[in-house]
């Protein structure tokens, strides 16, 4: 009796191995192609071992294309947005956790619902709002900065400027981050703050000395998810940026791919690998927080 | 009395802390959503006469939308995309992986990491990798595999475009399904299985009578979440096919994009956007209600 069920269990285990191996190969195969193609001196569209290993494609990304610029733009906008998200969601999440006011529940429902709105559907009105804001700030800045107008607008413009992209990217990551921070602060006992209040600490002191140190793990999780999502975003830079100096990695990759007559797969593979690596690193850290975000947030 | 005043002051302070989050969310998400409704009732455009002087046109955009075959096509494509990739593909493969990883598997973390890897890939990278796997006729990797087994090769993105888009999105989401369902499986108490084994239940019976019913709430939540998030997928499809060939893979988000930013018909595109907003909101409300969020 025991023999049969053991044999059967063994068969199921074997089946489990086969299934896992097949699914894993399906999942990893495109990455293998990309990694090999990025160092293959004779790139082909199909998966093969490199004829000889070369780093020319990587050199080309930085020497012939604007790889450095794209990478720097991506890093700057995404890190700025992530930083803003951490600060704003840290404060807001604390307020949402501690408040007992009437607005708390509607606000929490609202941020869950904001997460389900498709960003393509919001894009047109968003673009018009940003355009108005851009004209407004342009009117103010033009007399002030004179001949540097174009440069200043690339920094502070809402359309085709860093500031606009950063703010919109950050806002998009806020709902999940607020949720993560709210849930996180729910788990932090109030004793510490109450002790600080009894000691006569002001709100600012309480935030700096007590809450920020306590909140660091939560902020790390919120920041990681904000970074990953903003780093992978393609739609916003596609719509909001047009100057070549402002292009980010996803757009650089996409545009390079559209040059139909002269697609250089080695170059593209190297560029895509460069773009992929920070995402994978962030994801490997964020992985253990993944389940928690499901319970309250929406899949990102 | 003094306590009341203290409480009031504290609440006011908290509201100040929330303000930096509240303001951008109001201006950049809630207001655009409402503005989309307004725009959808105008003939607003990016170029031409309507760009200078947009007029209120009432329901005209919606009437046009509902008689536009391309719009219905995009709804159909979106439906196939969601059902094929989120409801069937990701869920089935994710569930199978989660079940398999419950056994004592050597190298389980490696399998887990491999299955999660596509989730980390940015949409454009995913699109690029899969074009390379699928395009190029007999040169494509997938074709090479077929030829290896003695089958004729296929130009995948031309012959089965929608199926390929579904497959690539499935590929991208198996990991998240697996993680969520693993958490759900872990919540099923081991004693239940133990008791069933005592009663002589076989694995199939245990799966049908215990695992599935106990997992039903988790599965339902997962389906809602993944449906909503799949409706809003844009970058992956756009990078892979840009909606083509023809309009065979034009999901609703690509349709809205094409109408607004390629054809410059902002008012008309907004009508499509409102339809997408309403559907997503309805699903979102169902999600929030079934979640019974503790707030």
CB proximity A181 to B under 8 Å: no
Q: Are residues B138 and B226 in the same domain?
A: yes
- Does B3 fall in a domain? no
CB contact under 8 A, A23 and B174: yes
CA angle A17, A22, A24 (to 5 degrees): 90
Number of domains composing chain B: 2
Domain extent for B185:
80-249
Q: Are residues B63 and B85 in the same domain?
A: no
SS percent in chain A: helix, strand, coil, step 5: 80, 0, 20
User: Across chain A, what does the average pLDDT equal?
Assistant: 85
Cα separation, B116 vs B179, whole angstroms: 9
- Report whether A142 contacts A149 (CB < 8 A): yes
CB contact under 8 A, B132 and A34: yes
Name the closest residue on chain B to residue A258, using Cα atoms.
B239
CATH number at residue B198: 1.10.3720.10
The whole-number average pLDDT for the span A186-213 is 81
Nearest to B70 by CA among B265, B283, B277: B265
- Report whether A133 contacts A158 (CB < 8 A): yes
Distance from CA of B197 to the nearest CA of A (A): 11
Q: Are residues B169 and B88 in the same domain?
A: yes
- Does B44 fall in a domain? yes
More confident residue, A78 or B214: A78
CB contact under 8 A, A298 and B239: no
Nearest to A236 by CA among A137, A170, A151: A170
Q: Which of A276-290, B74-88, B163-177 has the lowest mean pLDDT?
A: A276-290
More confident residue, A76 or B206: A76
- Does A51 fall in a domain? no
CB contact under 8 A, B144 and A47: yes
pLDDT computed for residue A286 by the predictor: 85
- Does A25 fall in a domain? no
Contacting residues of A for B261, CB less than 8 Å apart: 123-124, 239
Write the CB contacts of A21 (distance below 8 Å, at least 6 apart in sequence): B111
- Does A214 fall in a domain? yes
Q: Are residues B53 and B194 in the same domain?
A: no
- Does B21 fall in a domain? no
The conformation of residue B153, written as its DSSP 8-state character, comes to P
Q: What is the band of A64 on the pLDDT scale with cuts at 50, 70, 90?
A: confident
pLDDT computed for residue A70 by the predictor: 92
Residues 40-79 of A with CB under 8 A from B: 44-47
Q: Are residues B108 and B202 in the same domain?
A: yes
Closest CB to A96: pick one of B18, B124, B226: B18
CB atoms within 10 A of CB B244: 14
DSSP-H helix ranges across A38-118: 56-63, 67-98, 104-116
Nearest to B287 by CA among A72, A209, A4, A299: A299
CB contact under 8 A, A116 and B280: yes
Q: Are residues B236 and B273 in the same domain?
A: no
Contacting residues of A for B176, CB less than 8 Å apart: 290, 299
> A75 exposed, middle or buried (CB, 10 Å; 0-12, 13-18, 19+)?
middle
Q: What is the band of B172 on the pLDDT scale with cuts at 50, 70, 90?
A: very high
Q: What is the band of A291 on the pLDDT scale with cuts at 50, 70, 90?
A: low
pLDDT computed for residue B118 by the predictor: 94
Q: Are residues B176 and B280 in the same domain?
A: no
CB contact under 8 A, A115 and B284: yes
- Report whether B215 contacts B181 (CB < 8 A): yes
User: Across chain B, what does the average pLDDT equal?
Assistant: 86
Q: What separation in angstroms does the CA of A189 have from each of A88, A180, A250?
A: 21, 16, 42
> A154 exposed, middle or buried (CB, 10 Å; 0-12, 13-18, 19+)?
middle
Cα separation, B161 vs B250, whole angstroms: 10
- Does A196 fall in a domain? yes
Contacting residues of B for A203, CB less than 8 Å apart: 13
pLDDT computed for residue A6 by the predictor: 62
CB contact under 8 A, B103 and A12: yes
CB atoms within 10 A of CB A210: 18
Number of domains composing chain A: 1
pLDDT computed for residue B128 by the predictor: 87
- Does B7 fall in a domain? no
Q: Are residues B197 and B293 in the same domain?
A: no
Inter-chain contacts counted by CB atoms under 8 A, chains A and B: 315
Query: In the predicted model, is pLDDT for residue A220 greater than 60?
Result: yes
Contacting residues of B for A101, CB less than 8 Å apart: 11, 14-15
Task: Note the ipTM here.
Answer: 0.86
Contacting residues of B for A290, CB less than 8 Å apart: 176, 179
- Does B108 fall in a domain? yes
Cα separation, A124 vs B259, whole angstroms: 10
CB contact under 8 A, A116 and B228: yes
- Does B256 fall in a domain? no
Closest CB to B176: pick one of A113, A269, A299: A299
Domain extent for A122:
59-296
The whole-number average pLDDT for the span A78-86 is 96
- Report whether A158 contacts A164 (CB < 8 A): yes
Q: Are residues B203 and B96 in the same domain?
A: yes
More confident residue, A93 or B59: A93
Q: What are phi and psi of A248, to 5 degrees?
A: -110, 175
- pLDDT tens, position by position, A27-58: 999 999 889 888 888 777 777 777 778 888 88
CATH number at residue A265: 1.10.3720.10
Residue with tokens 């493969």: B93
Closest CB to B232: pick one of A34, A119, A168: A119
CB contact under 8 A, A296 and B124: no
CB contact under 8 A, B103 and A126: no
Residues 237-256 of A with CB under 8 A from B: 239, 250, 253-254
pLDDT computed for residue A167 by the predictor: 95
Q: Are residues B122 and B57 in the same domain?
A: no
> A13 exposed, middle or buried (CB, 10 Å; 0-12, 13-18, 19+)?
middle
CB contact under 8 A, B35 and A291: no
Q: Are residues B214 and B141 in the same domain?
A: yes
More confident residue, B7 or A300: B7
* Structure token digits, residue B259: 């109408």
Q: Are residues B90 and B218 in the same domain?
A: yes
- Report whether A206 contacts B13 (CB < 8 A): no
The whole-number average pLDDT for the span A92-109 is 89
- Does A92 fall in a domain? yes
């Amino acid at each position: 009796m025991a023999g049969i069920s053991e044999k059967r269990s063994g068969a199921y285990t074997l089946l489990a191995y086969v299934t896992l191996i097949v699914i894993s190969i399906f999942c990893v195969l495109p990455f293998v192609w990309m990694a090999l193609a990025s160092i293959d001196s004779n790139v082909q569209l199909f998966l093969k071992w490199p004829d000889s290993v070369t780093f020319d494609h990587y050199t080309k990304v930085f020497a012939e294309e604007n790889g450095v610029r794209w990478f720097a733009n991506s890093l700057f906008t995404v890190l700025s947005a992530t930083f803003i998200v951490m600060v704003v969601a840290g404060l807001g999440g604390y307020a949402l956790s501690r408040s007992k006011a009437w607005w708390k529940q509607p606000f929490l429902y609202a941020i869950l619902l904001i997460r389900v709105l498709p960003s393509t559907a919001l894009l047109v009105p968003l673009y018009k709002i940003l355009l108005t804001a851009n004209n407004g700030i342009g009117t103010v800045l033009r007399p002030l900065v004179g001949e540097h107008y174009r440069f200043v607008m690339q920094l502070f413009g809402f359309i085709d400027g860093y500031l606009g992209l950063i703010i919109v990217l950050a806002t998009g990551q806020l709902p999940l981050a607020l949720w993560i921070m709210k849930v996180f602060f729910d788990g932090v006992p109030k004793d510490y703050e109450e002790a600080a209040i009894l000691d006569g600490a002001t709100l600012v002191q309480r935030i700096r000395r007590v809450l920020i140190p306590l909140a660091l793990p939560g902020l790390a999780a919120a920041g990681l998810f904000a970074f990953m999502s903003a780093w992978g975003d393609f739609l916003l830079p596609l719509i909001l940026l047009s100057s070549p100096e402002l292009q980010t990695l996803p757009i650089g990759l996409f545009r390079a791919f559209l040059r139909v007559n002269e697609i250089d797969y080695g170059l593209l593979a190297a560029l895509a690998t460069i773009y992929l690596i920070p995402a994978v690193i962030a994801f490997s850290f964020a992985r253990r927080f993944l389940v928690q975000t499901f319970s309250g947030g929406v899949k990102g | 009395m003094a306590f009341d005043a203290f409480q009031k002051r504290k609440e006011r302070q908290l509201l100040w802390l929330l303000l930096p989050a509240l303001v951008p969310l109001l201006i950049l998400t809630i207001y655009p959503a409402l503005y989309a409704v307004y725009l959808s009732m105008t003939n607003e455009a990016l170029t031409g006469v309507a760009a200078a002087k947009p007029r209120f046109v009432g329901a005209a955009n919606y009437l046009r939308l509902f008689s536009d075959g391309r719009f219905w096509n995009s709804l159909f494509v979106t439906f196939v995309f969601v059902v094929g990739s989120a409801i069937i593909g990701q869920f089935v493969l994710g569930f199978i992986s989660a079940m398999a990883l419950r056994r004592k598997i050597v190298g389980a973390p490696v399998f887990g990491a491999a299955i999660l890897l596509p989730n980390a890939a940015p949409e454009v990278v995913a699109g690029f990798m899969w074009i390379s796997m699928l395009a190029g006729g007999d040169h494509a990797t997938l074709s090479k595999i077929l030829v290896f087994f003695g089958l004729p090769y296929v130009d995948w993105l031309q012959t089965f475009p929608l199926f390929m888009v579904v497959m690539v999105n499935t590929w991208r989401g198996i990991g998240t399904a697996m993680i969520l369902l693993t958490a759900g499986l872990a919540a099923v108490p081991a004693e239940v299985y133990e008791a069933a084994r005592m009663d002589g239940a076989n694995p199939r019976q245990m799966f049908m009578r215990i695992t599935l019913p106990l997992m039903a709430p988790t599965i339902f939540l997962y389906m809602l979440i993944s449906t909503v998030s799949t409706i809003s997928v844009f970058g992956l499809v756009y990078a892979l096919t840009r909606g083509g060939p023809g309009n065979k893979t034009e999901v609703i988000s690509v349709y809205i994009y094409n109408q607004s930013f390629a054809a410059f018909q902002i008012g008309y595109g907004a009508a499509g956007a409102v339809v997408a907003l309403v559907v997503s909101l309805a699903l979102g409300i169902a999600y929030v209600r079934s979640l019974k969020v503790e707030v």
